[in-house]
């Protein structure tokens, strides 16, 4: 007698596939986190500091307020403030006071910050390339496109959570 798993008994085939994708993404997130922690043990920044700093590299001329960074990075303001303080102390970010509201600081990345991002990315590239060494270019492109689509969906539906 074949025993069906919970997923087979309760979910249709599409739901099983959707659930498996989410489980796989969670496993990948855990494995990547562990790997990143090992890789960043030898870097001048932590993974969260690097993640925040790289956010500035997408548009280096743009300035950000702490509240905007907290929202886009999905972190609380005290956590962002602490990370920003470290990056300011290291000279990787620059703060300019708002003309109208002196409580607000406009944050931008410095040339040193851009260089630090570039240097860390260069040091990570051997491992990144190693992760995908057995992949064909077309498979990489396909995965990239699918992940971009998934990321945009999550970005556009941050507060659209069903079932809660």
The string of pLDDT tens digits covering residues 15-51 is 999 999 999 999 999 999 999 999 999 999 999 999 9
Residue 163 has pLDDT above 80, yes or no: no
> How far is the C-alpha of 107 from the C-alpha of 56, rounded, in Å?
9
Joined tokens for residue 1: 């007698």
Q: How is residue 4 annotated by DSSP?
A: P
Cα 123 to Cα 22, 69, 111, 117: the distances in Å are: 30, 26, 18, 10
pTM of the model: 0.83
Transcribe 42-108 into DSSP letters.
Answer: TSSS-HHHHHHHHHHHTSTT--B-HHHHHHHHT--HHHHHHHHHHHHHTTSEEEEE-SS-TT-EEEE
Among residues of the chain, what percentage have pLDDT more than 90?
Answer: 80
| pLDDT for 86 | 97
- How high is the pLDDT of residue 91? 98
Spatial distance between the Cα atoms of 17 and 26, rounded to a whole number of angstroms: 14
What pLDDT does 107 receive? 97
pLDDT in tens, 48-60: 999 999 999 999 9
Looking at the chain, the number of H-run helices and the number of E-run strands are: 7, 2
CA angle 30, 33, 38 (to 5 degrees): 130
C-alpha distance from residue 164 to each of 17, 57, 94, 161 (Å): 22, 35, 40, 7
Side-chain half-sphere CA neighbours of 46 within 13 A: 7
Residue 1: pLDDT over 60: no
Residue 62 has what pLDDT?
95
Question: What is the per-residue pLDDT for 114?
Answer: 98
């Amino acid at each position: 007698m074949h025993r069906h798993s919970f997923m087979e008994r309760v979910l249709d085939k599409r739901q099983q596939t959707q659930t498996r994708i989410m489980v796989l993404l969670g496993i990948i997130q855990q494995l990547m986190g562990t790997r990143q922690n090992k890789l960043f043990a030898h870097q001048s920044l932590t993974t969260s500091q690097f993640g925040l700093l790289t956010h500035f590299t997408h548009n280096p001329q743009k300035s950000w307020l702490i509240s905007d960074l907290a929202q886009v990075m999905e972190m609380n303001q005290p956590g962002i403030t602490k990370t920003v303080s470290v990056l300011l102390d290291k000279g990787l970010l620059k703060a300019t006071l708002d003309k109208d509201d002196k409580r607000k600081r406009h944050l931008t990345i410095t040339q040193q910050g851009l260089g630090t991002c570039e240097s860390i990315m260069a040091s990570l590239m051997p491992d990144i390339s190693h992760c995908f060494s057995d992949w064909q270019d077309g498979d990489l492109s396909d995965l990239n496109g699918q992940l971009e689509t998934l990321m945009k969906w999550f970005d556009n539906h941050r507060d659209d959570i069903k079932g809660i």
